[in-house]
Homo-oligomer: A and B are copies of this chain.
């Protein structure tokens, strides 16, 4: 089994060491193994899981939701349908977000075109 140092994991995930420790404190990952000196050793599984976490995080899921999500995944089958509801809710937010971004894109493209014409005139 391969283990990864905090520095390695920071490099691979793009997260800072502080953020890694923060996520652990918040229960988003771990408990992370330690070596005899108390240093963290991340497993390949930890790394993969961090991939999922950062993906959801980047999509705007908050720490609290993420923690609940993690609890469900690591606790095995969900006791209720509530966690799935949470996912569905986040999913629908994401669909909305995409739509908002699309609208913003068209506004921005309009402005860019406008200023490009202005720039061409004044140049």
Contacts and interface: CB of A to CB of B under 8 A. Distances in A.
A39 interface: no
A115 to B, nearest CB: 5
A104 B97 CA distance: 12
Interface of A: 52, 55-56, 58-61, 69, 72-73, 77-78, 81, 83-84, 87-88, 90-91, 94-95, 97-98, 100-105, 107-109, 111-112, 115-116, 118-119, 121-122
Nearest to A90: B108
A105 B61 CA distance: 11
Given A91-B105, A108-B94, A122-B77, A115 B83 contact: yes
16 contacts: A55-B100, A55-B103, A56-B104, A56-B108, A58-B104, A59-B100, A59-B103, A59-B105, A77-B115, A77-B119, A77-B122, A87-B111, A90-B108, A91-B112, A97-B101, A98-B102
B111 A78 contact: no
